[in-house]
Amino acid sequence: MLLSEILRIKGNTLYTTTPEGSALDAVRVMTDNDIGSLVVMDHGRLAGMLTFREVLAAIASHGGALGAMQVSEIYERDPLTAAPGLDVMELRGRMLERHARYVPVLDGATLLGVVSFHDVAKAVYEEQSFENRMLKSYIGDTPDVSVR
């Protein structure tokens, strides 16, 4: 399965912020929409990712509060990215290597969407379940050739 197929199923809703945005406002958007990340866009281009990991690290290092902190102070500037033609199994390995939970999908410089580790796990599960059912069906349809 390709990433483009996951994006087609997920839809094209994107949640973004800017580096100049308030970190607290970004957290509100994430909690209000039950999402774990925001794409950080700077002048129409991907600048990085803000996830709850960075937010929690900022809170821990600033005495438990975000205060007037800006997104630019805490976001990840070099996130793992992927092309829409990448196979899901390949992406799964890359995500595990980089401990990435969210991956922006780019077609050149154009942001197409974000896939989460949950999206990848679900796609792999569904693909393997389908293959399993097909194999069981194939095995069940073969005649019994036991020796008498």
Task: Give the tens place of pLDDT for each residue, 32-88.
Answer: 999 999 999 999 999 999 999 999 999 999 999 999 999 999 999 999 999 999 999
Does pLDDT of 128 surpass 80? no
Structure tokens at 140: 């069940």
Spatial distance between the Cα atoms of 45 and 106, rounded to a whole number of angstroms:
10
Spatial distance between the Cα atoms of 87 and 62, rounded to a whole number of angstroms:
40
What's the pLDDT score for residue 100? 95
Give the bridge partners for 41, in sequence order. Answer: 46
Say which range, 16-30, 43-57, 95-109, 120-134, has the weakest mean pLDDT: 120-134
Q: Give the chain's domains with CATH numbers.
A: 3-141 (3.10.580.10)
**Distance set, CA 42 to CA 18, 32, 33, 45 (Å):** 6, 23, 22, 5
- CB neighbour burial string for 101-116, b if at least 16 within 10 angstroms, e if fewer: bbbbbbeeeebbbbbb
Q: What is the pLDDT of residues 79-113, one digit of tens each?
A: 999 999 999 989 999 999 999 999 999 999 999 99
